[in-house]
Amino acid sequence: KDDWLFYGETLEDYTGADCLTDRQAYSIGRSLALAQAYVESKGATFLFTVAPNKISLYPQFAQGDLSPGEITAAGQIKDALALEGVPYGDLFEAFENQEEILYHKLDSHWTYRGAALAHDTLLANLGLSGDDFSKEGSYQATHKGDLYEMLYPASSRLDEQWHFTEEPQFTYDTPIRDVDDLRIQTSSQGTYGNLLMFRDSFGNTLHTLMAEDFGHALFSRGQPYDLGLMDQVGAN
């Protein structure tokens, strides 16, 4: 509706047609509990989060005949983590509490302003403070939506993107090809120590905000997740 686009593979998760088995949910919770135990054995803090699918937050712009499922994969994971005592940053709750739309119309991800809300929420869950969501900025038509580009690769139409009046202050330790690089390392004047963050494409925007707060940070898209990278960045 209203020219909004959604990634088709997320629909079945929203409706509950594609849930995890009990064994899968348990395995995810248990695996993350083991990761948490290792991280804490190194004297560091562990936090896990799920970036909400766009349709989970803005179903009013999707197909009119879709009904939300009582059980979703994200809900199953949240319950599994609670049983294992794994720290979980609930971004669903954070975004649902905002009336403002914080995802792109033509893209499957949050805007930079949405990333700012995620940033502040995750820092709060780590016992730290962040105020990026309150920083000044404006929307400008500068973003090429991934979903729109799949449908119309030759089009020049651009989506609205949030631009901060003052950009995050950090440097890349080595030049990057683009924000999809498998590994990105940064340095800044941040006072929150050193960060290791495993991320997906939602980290394309989020990593720049996190980079400003941590003196050194390593952002990895590599799988399987290598917790040994903690030593490379001295992650706390």
**pTM for the predicted model, two decimal places:** 0.96
Query: With 90 as the cut, is the pLDDT of residue 37 above it?
Result: yes
**Count of other CB atoms within 10 angstroms of residue 115:** 25
**Count of other CB atoms within 10 angstroms of residue 236:** 16
CB 118 within 8 A of CB 206: yes
Write the single-letter amino acid at 46: F
Rounded Cα distance between 53 and 10, Å, is 7
Query: With 90 as the cut, is the pLDDT of residue 171 above it?
Result: yes
Residues 189-204: tens digit of each pLDDT: 999 999 999 999 999 9
Bridge pairing between strands 194-198 and 216-220:
parallel
Instruction: Report the pLDDT value the prediction gives residue 63, as an integer from 0 to 100.
Output: 81
Which of the pair, 121 or 14, is modelled with greater confidence?
121
Phi, psi at residue 205, to the nearest 5°? -95, -40
Average pLDDT over residues 1-16: 91
Query: With 90 as the cut, is the pLDDT of residue 66 above it?
Result: no
Residue 216, C-beta contacts closer than 8 angstroms, at least 6 positions apart? 185, 186, 187, 194, 195, 233, 234
CB 174 within 8 A of CB 218: no
Mean pLDDT of the chain: 96
Confidence of residue 42 (pLDDT cuts 50, 70, 90): very high
For the chain, percent of residues with pLDDT exceeding 70: 100
Instruction: Report the pLDDT value the prediction gives residue 65, as an integer from 0 to 100.
Output: 79
Instruction: Report the pLDDT value the prediction gives residue 21, as an integer from 0 to 100.
Output: 95
For residue 20, the SS3 value is coil
Average pLDDT over residues 18-39: 97
For residue 89, the SS3 value is strand
CB 195 within 8 A of CB 217: yes
Residues in the chain: 236
Query: With 90 as the cut, is the pLDDT of residue 233 above it?
Result: yes
CB 108 within 8 A of CB 131: no
Average pLDDT over residues 229-233: 96
